[in-house]
Amino acid sequence: MPVAPTRGRLRPLGLDEVTITSGFWARRRHINTTATLGHCHDWMERVGWIGNFRAAAEGRLPKDRRGREFADSDVYKLLEAMAWERGPDAGAALDTITDAIAPVQEPDGYLNTAFGRPGQGPRYGDLEWGHELYCYGHMIQAGVAQTRARGEGALAKIARRAADHVCATFGPGGIEGVCGHPQIETALVELARATGEQRYLGQAALFVDRRGRGTLADPEFGRAYYQDDMPVREATILRGHAVRALYLAAGAVDVAVETGDDDLLAAVVRQWEATVARRTYLTGGMGSHHRDEAFGDDFVLPPDRAYSETCAGVASVMLCWRLLLATGEPRFADLAERTLFNVVAASPSEDGRSFFYANTLHRRRRGTVPPAGTDSPRAESSLRAPWFAVSCCPTNVARTLAVLPAYLATTDDHGIQLHQYTDMDIATQGVALQVRTDYPSGGRVTVGISSSPGHSWTLSLRVPAWTEGTTAWLTEPDGTRRAVAPGTAEVTRRFRPGDEIRLELPVTPRWIAPDPRVDAIRGTLAVQRGPLVHCAESVDLPTGHEVDAVRVDRSAEPVDGPQGTVVVQGELITSDQARDTPWPYRPLDGPTEPPTDGPDEPATPTTAERTGITLVPYHSWANRGPSTMRVWLPTTEPPVSPPAG
């Protein structure tokens, strides 16, 4: 399991306790295993990132080094994914790459291909942008994954030597600094959990407490960019670079849980609450700035400029999972579900060999197909690209899908808790159960008990927050059927083999309206069906139309269409031979028609074609070629005039 706290409200179940058997996530994980891991491996060989280690061992650096200063970290994320995968192919590839890395580690544990050699920058000479500690973080997490999934091996020993080096170099009496990109914190805590060595935890706590005390230089984006503007305990909201902020928050939760620091945990919960309330997209995506990959101000959530980086989605799931384990509160699983289905699942293509880096909610122009053999220099969404010059997202998706079963269920002294729904088998503490469902397409979740201890225990099922305003139903083994509200539904009894519990969730499409403080989407609507956000895509419109022609009728409820689509009623606005007007603004009490094009020319007529409009799950868009797309749809209602007075 990726997170194994020694304290907290809930205990996660590991890969040896949960098996995904079929359904949405089984298909995604199969593609990850059979296509994505090999794709990432091939590309890292092609662009030279794995070759950097061979070049280092052979004394060919810096001349032959390829990629950005943090390229080592993506090799480590791939190794983590391979470690979680149990197949022999992944194990063999892991060993081969590890054999290339091992000779590069120096006697004191230092290991990096971008710094420390003649012609390169000095060790830790650029804590703001060098990413040395960040790279260690991903290496250590890969080593922990190997230890937990396969037993301690060469990679785990390399990671532990690097962690010892970090403690010696940045511990008391050492360099009193932090990395510009948080990540080392979560890794050190997890290594402490895996080994029982508490100095790793102590070093992580030092890094968390040093953050926000001005140890890093002020960058062009401001000190909040890497969360060095104020101490973690004093912050009230997540800000700056979204991935950095979320990784730091996850590390702070880890430290808080292991040290019993309730004040630190409460600070992160407050930051999460404010961020979800004011700075999060409908998809669960985080980060509205392209230039600095950062959170914007409160309610600044433009759909067409949504950055919503895939890595931020992964980091959000990591944070939510930690908060869920610490508190037991289902709201954290709610956001994790939203983000998994609408950000993480949206990144890879159907074949698992191309990816979105950023996840826009409104694509105004049709994308261009990226060259198959060239890495993309840009992260902005157009079409999924096979690789990027900065390719942190494909490997982040790969490691998340590889370990996904460990994010689904937990246990405590009272029983078992189900947080995410897919077909899966669970066996733990004398209990064996099978979950069968067509979720998220359908809403029926059936839990069958095949083995149970002789005493009473509690089965808890999350009732998603998206069911608010509708009715969900729970049927117990004796046939009792009762309505259940969003939150947690519990069944406590002495279960017997053959018992069955059924949860019925109202998976029907619904209109979603935005908070009016989100200026960019005021007056629009979106559609959500269960946990899935839907969108209009131009390939489903009549030839010649783009999504900006769509207007939806809010008085007609969305209905299910074929193959997981949703159909809404609305209009397609068309203009014949449209011409620009001299000025695109007019007084509200002026003429309703735009001015004529000239003394003898009438204004261009605009017509509306009434039609049904097909919406597809957002995670599936752009799999059918170049298209335009939008999630938030204007309505057919005219603008509201101010009251007369």
Q: Model confidence over 311-368: pLDDT tens digits? A: 999 999 999 999 999 999 999 999 999 999 999 999 999 999 999 999 999 999 998 8
Output the CA angle 295-40-157, nearest 5 degrees.
Answer: 90
Q: What is the domain-level CATH number for residue 477?
A: 2.60.40
Same domain, 112 and 230: yes
pLDDT score of 191:
98
Specify the number of domains making up the chain: 3
Same domain, 58 and 109: yes
Same domain, 477 and 537: no
599 falls in which pLDDT band (50, 70, 90)? very low
| More confident of the two residues 505 and 608 | 505
115 beta partners: 121
Tens digit of pLDDT for each residue in 562-589?
Answer: 999 999 999 998 865 456 789 989 887 7
Q: What residue numbers bound the domain in which 80 lies? A: 11-361+374-407
| Burial track 527-545 (b if 16+ CB lie within 10 A, e otherwise) | bbbbbbbbbbbbbbbeeeb
Q: List Cβ<8 Å contacts ≥24 apart for 30-35.
A: 31/348, 31/350, 31/351, 31/352, 32/81, 32/348, 32/352, 32/397, 32/398, 32/401, 32/402, 33/85, 33/87, 33/90, 33/402, 34/352, 35/351, 35/352, 35/353
User: For the whole model, what pTM was predicted?
Assistant: 0.95
pLDDT score of 578:
54
pLDDT score of 592:
54
Give the three-class secondary structure for 543: coil
642 falls in which pLDDT band (50, 70, 90)? very low
Tens digit of pLDDT for each residue in 4-43?
Answer: 999 999 999 999 999 999 999 999 999 999 999 999 999 9
Asked if residue 2 belongs to a domain, the reply is: no
Same domain, 518 and 390: no
Give CA–CA dist 70/73, Å, rounded: 6
Asked if residue 169 belongs to a domain, the reply is: yes
pLDDT score of 373:
85
Percent of the chain at pLDDT > 90 equals 88
Q: Among 58-72, 545-559, 603-617, which is the least confidently predicted range?
A: 603-617
Average pLDDT rounded to a whole number, residues 513-522? 96
Same domain, 105 and 252: yes
Average pLDDT rounded to a whole number, residues 171-199? 97
Asked if residue 6 belongs to a domain, the reply is: no
Average pLDDT rounded to a whole number, residues 171-198? 97
Same domain, 45 and 59: yes
| More confident of the two residues 368 and 57 | 57
Tens digit of pLDDT for each residue in 368-427?
Answer: 888 888 888 877 667 899 999 999 999 999 999 999 999 999 999 999 999 999 999 999
Asked if residue 640 belongs to a domain, the reply is: no
Q: What is the domain-level CATH number for residue 347?
A: 1.50.10.20
| Mean pLDDT for the chain overall | 94
Asked if residue 337 belongs to a domain, the reply is: yes
pLDDT greater than 60 at residue 594? no
pLDDT score of 640:
47
pLDDT score of 607:
72
pLDDT score of 88:
80
pLDDT greater than 90 at residue 505? yes
